[in-house]
Amino acid sequence: MNFPTLLYRAGLALALLSSVPVAQAESLKVGFMPIGSHVKFMIAQEQGYYVQEGLEVELIPFINSADGLTALTNHKIDVGSFGTSAPLLHIAKGSQIRIIGGITSGGSTFIARPEVAATIKSPADFRGRKIATVRLSTVDAVLRGALKDAGLDWKKDVQIFELKSAPAVTEAVKSGQVDIGATWGPHDLRAQAEGMKVLFYSDELYPAHVCCRLITNDRVDSATNVKLLRALLRAERFAAENREGTLDALAKYVKLDRPALEKDFYDPHKENSTDPYLKGLRQFWTIMSDSGFIDTTGKNIDDAVVLQDYESALQSLVKENPQDPYWQKLVLDFKTKNGA
């Protein structure tokens, strides 16, 4: 074969290749909070998992759940992970948002100055206190539920101040404007570094309570949910097996020294599962309803939880690696956390 013929054939091959349509990545705006618990979003971006699953993800940070949920319901973002209270409040009011997965469980904290901490042994000792919280955060609902369980009325027996952010809660406690702060990591670590004490971890009051859930609005379809959940499940596994790589990802998004990042994310009071955890959501729904935080009349939280997309994502990973013990454990967890 002569040289001109080779050139012709090479050119023909290139022309044929260029005419084949290339599947474009699907754009997705994902809201998150720049805290350790949300590292799966960061890992999936840094490790290229979104791209590998056919997604082009823009991560958009929020400082609190209320602002994030407002952006989601107004279609400023497509997906987000925010504290449990905010989405459940929206669902109770009739919003069509859907819960498709989870980011973490536990991880919230009650803090106080040392002289106040010395006088508090249980939530019953909150009576008459000034308490700072972030409106619609997970710990906001935990606070009101714990007060009710202690026989206190959060509308009468304490003064609750709803602040904009967790750092604002810390500052209010530190300055003496309030007695107690309801917060979460890593802000509790910063508070302790500044001399404050932890009164209770939220999982000590409500074991394994759900925290940040993965929420979508009505513009995101099931196929897209599965792609996103596959990426986050892969990030979950990465975080479980690659501590240094996880801390590298965190350091790009969270302004905290490395030892504090490690202590915050690998906190024994947290569970960093992507599972929707319907049973935990039912418990939290009841806590919010019983404490008078939301009106659930005629509403059922089950109707707002989509289990099949998570299950499809997980089963597709199992199919790729049938003997993998990590995925097999998550299959068992799914049955335990979401069964009748």
What's 270's DSSP letter?
E
- CA angle 329-239-311, nearest 5°? 40
Q: In this predicted model, what pLDDT tens digit does every residue of 116-173 receive, in sequence order?
A: 999 999 999 999 999 999 988 899 999 999 999 999 999 999 999 999 999 999 999 9
**pLDDT at residue 15 is higher than 90:** no
- pLDDT value for 307: 97
126, two tokens: 């909150």
Give residue 21's pLDDT band: very low, low, confident or very high (50, 70, 90): very low
6 or 162, greater pLDDT: 162
- pLDDT value for 255: 87
Give residue 294's pLDDT band: very low, low, confident or very high (50, 70, 90): very high
33: phi > 0 → left, psi -120 to 50 → alpha, else beta; which?
beta
- pLDDT value for 340: 66
**pLDDT at residue 318 is higher than 90:** yes
**pLDDT at residue 94 is higher than 70:** yes
**pLDDT at residue 61 is higher than 90:** yes
- Residue (of 154, 197, 142) closest to 173 by Cα position: 197
- pLDDT value for 64: 86
- Residue (of 27, 15, 42, 3) closest to 247 by Cα position: 42
Q: In this predicted model, what pLDDT tens digit does every residue of 220-267 receive, in sequence order?
A: 999 999 999 999 999 999 999 999 999 999 999 998 899 999 999 999
Q: Write the DSSP string, 29-52.
A: EEEE-SSGGGHHHHHHHHTTHHHH
Domains of the chain, start order:
27-104+211-338 (3.40.190.10), 108-205 (3.40.190.10)
